[in-house]
Amino acid sequence: MKPTDFSKYLTGFLTGYLAHERGASKHTIKAYRDTFVLFIGYMQTQGISVSKLSLENINQGAVVGFLDWLQSERKNSNATRNARLAAVHAFFSYVQYQNPEHLHEFQKILSIPMKNKSVIPMSYLSIDAIKMLLQQPDIHTVKGRRDLALLSLLYDTGARVQEIIDLTPSSLRLDKLSTIRIAGKGNKTRIIPMLADQVRLLRPYLEEHGLVQAHKHTHPLFFNSRSEKLTRAGVNYILQKYANMARKLKPELIPVISPHSLRHSKAMHLLQAGVNLVYIRDILGHVSVQTTEVYARADSRAKREAIEKAYISVVPEKDPVWLSNENLLDWLKLF
């Protein structure tokens, strides 16, 4: 079977361009790959098999049809649709330089706009809720101790769930100035200080599992019963288990959450404690402080306190005269 031009360019895009020229992380490459797996599946529903799919078959109408199919058939949100479209845009930005013969059609694809994302209130926990959540693991069991170390580190570092999953013992420096090295988006590394309470949990965990030994330095820091590193679904399962337990005790404290909610919670608590946005940006691994500003916009308590500090009362101290009259109707007649 003769390969098509689409298969040729897609292979070069995923295996060469993204990794070597764009410096994309393995997670970005995987997400882009998944987009094209879905796109190929959609084109098959339109009667074009993967063995015959070429650039001539892919036009603005086909891409718009794919995006509509994602939302109508797969029930994807606007945010997911936009993420898929970003992958398509990146591919055709690459292809237009490799194959300028179809430049006009490629630019029509690149002109497909993103959809406005619905604004969803940020989900984060109060400090009391975090304490309640971290009281649920049974520290008398091996799994309970692992889960406590995992969830507390997820909160304390404000790390993304994949960043926690990818940690190894070599990522930790547990001495007088304890730190953790986290590899984030775009293969960017950041160093985050760790305080004594977090170190107090991690030291016995490392010793219990033999992770202090030199040959275990590249072993997953958090792993399952088969010694394999946890998955995103696995971390979410652990979090939901303890969230449900905490919710039974104090339902008003624990909203519907995800692992990312712990990241939001840490950022909000740092902000409320008066930590500069620049430091919060560095801890979270944001490229720009503008991304971090979303927490300042979401913090209604800080807004209220700022208004109260700047407030100058213009309301008369005395009650309106009619309030001292028992009969409003009589007062109105006299007015």
Say yes or no: 106 and 140 in one domain.
Answer: no
For 88-98, letters b (16+ CB in 10 Å) and e give bbbbbebbbee
Do 29 and 66 share a domain, yes or no?
yes
Q: How many residues does the chain have?
A: 335
Q: In this model, does residue 117 exceed pLDDT 60?
A: yes
What pLDDT shows up at residue 285? 87
Residues 204-209, mean pLDDT to the nearest whole number:
95
Once rounded to an integer, what is the mean pLDDT over residues 235-242?
Answer: 96
**229 and 184 share one domain:** yes
Nearest C-alpha neighbor of 87 from the set 104, 67, 71: 67
pLDDT value at position 111? 95
Q: Could you tell me the pLDDT band of residue 332, with boundaries at 50, 70 and 90?
A: low
Q: Same domain, yes or no, for 274 and 142?
A: yes
Query: What is the CB neighbour count within 10 angstroms for residue 331?
Result: 15
pLDDT level of residue 328 (50, 70, 90 thresholds): low
What are 127-154's pLDDT values in tens digits? 999 999 999 999 999 999 999 999 999 9
- In this predicted structure, the answer to whether residue 321 has a pLDDT above a threshold of 70 is no
Tell me the CATH number at 31.
Answer: 1.10.150.130
Q: List beta partners, residue 182.
A: 190
pLDDT higher than threshold 80 for residue 11: yes
**Residue 321, token pair as written in the block:** 């005269």
Position 196: which residue type? A
Q: Which domain holds residue 300?
A: 127-307
Q: Are residues 106 and 131 in the same domain?
A: no
pLDDT score for 288:
75
Amino acid at 30: K
Between CA 148 and CA 255 the distance in angstroms is: 20
96 and 132 assigned to the same domain: no
Average pLDDT, the chain: 87
Grade residue 24 by pLDDT with cuts at 50, 70 and 90: confident
DSSP letters spanning 66-116? HHHHHHHTS---HHHHHHHHHHHHHHHHHHHHH-GGGHHHHHHHHTPPPPP
Contact 46, 65 (CB under 8 A): yes
Q: Is residue 257 included in any domain, yes or no?
A: yes
Task: Kindly tell me if the per-residue pLDDT of 316 is higher than 60.
Answer: no
Pair 162, 279 in one domain? yes
Q: Do 275 and 232 share a structural domain?
A: yes
Q: Which residue is listed with tokens 């700047």?
A: 310
Has residue 333 been placed in a domain?
no
Q: What confidence score (pLDDT) does residue 1 get?
A: 58
Q: Are residues 138 and 281 in the same domain?
A: yes
Closest CA to 241 of 146, 126, 112, 322: 146
| pLDDT for residue 325 | 55
Last residue of a domain, which of 82, 110, 138? 110
Q: Is residue 324 assigned to a domain?
A: no
Which residues, 6+ apart, have CB-to-CB distance to 33 below 8 Å?
A: 14
Summarize pLDDT for 242-293 with one digit per residue, the tens: 999 999 999 999 999 999 999 999 988 988 888 888 888 888 888 777 767 7
Q: What is the pLDDT of residue 312?
A: 54
Segment 182-203 mean pLDDT: 88
Confidence (pLDDT) at 292: 74
Three-class secondary structure assignment of 205-221: HHHHCCCCCHHHCCCCC
- The reply to whether 95 and 207 lie within a common domain is no
Any domain includes 16:
yes
Q: Which residues contact 198 (CB under 8 A, 6 or more apart)?
A: 152, 153, 156, 178
Question: Does residue 316 belong to any structural domain of this protein?
Answer: no
Q: What is the pLDDT of residues 46-105, one digit of tens each?
A: 999 999 999 999 999 999 999 999 999 999 989 899 999 999 999 999 999 988 888 899
Q: Which of 33-42, 121-130, 187-196, 301-310 has the highest mean pLDDT?
A: 33-42
Question: Are 10 and 82 contained in the same domain?
Answer: yes
Q: Are residues 79 and 151 in the same domain?
A: no
Number of independent structural domains in the chain: 2
Instruction: Please report whether residue 121 resides in a domain.
Output: no
Q: What is the CATH number of the domain that holds 167?
A: 1.10.443.10
